[in-house]
């Protein structure tokens, strides 16, 4: 798959300049951002990305649709647009018409139950050989009693696969905690950001693996995040670490 992206230009005081670059890449938005950042004194922030089969066709079509906003000669090319007075949700909505990334549906939880069985012992041998009987009894106690003991989780000592989720739920900072998009375990290259914690809610944007976000809260298997651009939305909780 290939990608068509929007880069947002941020001024020196931290406010958006209203200038956006629409481009294409096969290597991912972050790699393309670093390439253009080297020649731009202002900060460039990945604003939105869609996954497509033919990025050249989609990029050309978007350039034509937004031609009246084009900044000719800006940045040494014709891929920059002045969206200063434009509702960017409409721009994102138009880009999403080309999006071929399948929506992620969180899997149903699977619960496992482990049982233990006690080994059978010949008690006749215990009566004729006290030492052997003592050894076998000690082994029996270790297997049956020791095997039934399970580690206790006190809530602040998570283990194994629970660590990523626990770190998000334990965030008590009102300004949010740092998080990273990681959809690699699901086989996807990007995560959908939705307007509400519901897979059927409006798609706001998509985030690539490795993109940094600010994590605020968890609800019904979804994490509320904020992008560097200020956009807020919800991402499936197993796509954020």
pLDDT of the chain, 241 residues: tens digit per residue = 899 999 999 999 999 999 999 999 998 888 888 888 888 889 999 999 999 999 999 999 999 999 999 998 887 778 999 999 999 999 999 999 999 876 656 677 766 665 555 555 455 554 567 787 788 888 888 877 665 555 544 344 334 443 344 344 456 566 778 888 887 777 778 889 999 999 888 999 988 888 999 998 888 888 999 998 889 999 998 888 8
State the pLDDT at residue 117.
55
Cβ atoms within 10 A of the Cβ of 203, count? 18
DSSP letter assigned to residue 181: B
State the pLDDT at residue 97.
94
How far is residue 92's CA from residue 88's CA, in Å, rounded to a whole number?
6
Q: Does the pTM exceed 0.75?
A: no
Q: CB neighbours of 223 closer than 8 A, spacing ≥ 6?
A: 168, 179, 215, 216, 217, 234, 235, 236, 237, 240
Cβ atoms within 10 A of the Cβ of 133, count? 16
Closest CA to 46 of 71, 66, 17, 20: 20
How far is residue 230's CA from residue 76's CA, in Å, rounded to a whole number?
28
How far is residue 118's CA from residue 126's CA, in Å, rounded to a whole number?
17
Cβ-contact 7, 45 below 8 angstroms: yes
């Amino acid at each position: 798959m290939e990608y068509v992206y929007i880069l947002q230009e941020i001024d020196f005081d931290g406010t958006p300049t209203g200038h956006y670059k629409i481009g294409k890449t096969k290597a991912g938005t972050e790699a393309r951002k670093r390439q253009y950042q080297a020649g731009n004194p202002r900060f460039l922030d990945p604003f939105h990305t869609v996954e497509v089969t033919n990025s050249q066709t989609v990029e050309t079509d978007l350039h034509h649709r937004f031609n009246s906003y084009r900044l000719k000669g800006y940045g040494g090319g014709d891929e920059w647009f002045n969206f200063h007075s434009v509702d960017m949700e409409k721009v994102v909505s138009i880009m999403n018409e080309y999006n071929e990334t399948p929506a992620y549906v969180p899997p149903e939880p699977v619960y496992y139950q482990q049982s233990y069985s006690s080994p059978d012992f010949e008690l006749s041998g215990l009566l004729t050989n006290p030492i052997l009987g003592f050894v076998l009894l000690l082994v029996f106690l270790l297997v049956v009693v020791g095997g039934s003991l399970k580690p206790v989780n006190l809530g602040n000592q998570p283990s194994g696969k629970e660590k990523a989720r626990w770190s998000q739920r334990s965030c008590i900072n009102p300004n949010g905690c740092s998080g990273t998009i990681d959809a690699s375990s699901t086989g996807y290259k990007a995560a959908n950001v939705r307007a509400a914690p519901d897979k059927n809610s409006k798609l706001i944007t998509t985030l690539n693996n490795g993109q940094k976000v600010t994590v605020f809260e968890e609800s019904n298997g979804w994490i509320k995040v904020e992008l560097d651009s200020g956009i807020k939305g919800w991402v499936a909780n197993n796509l954020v670490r």
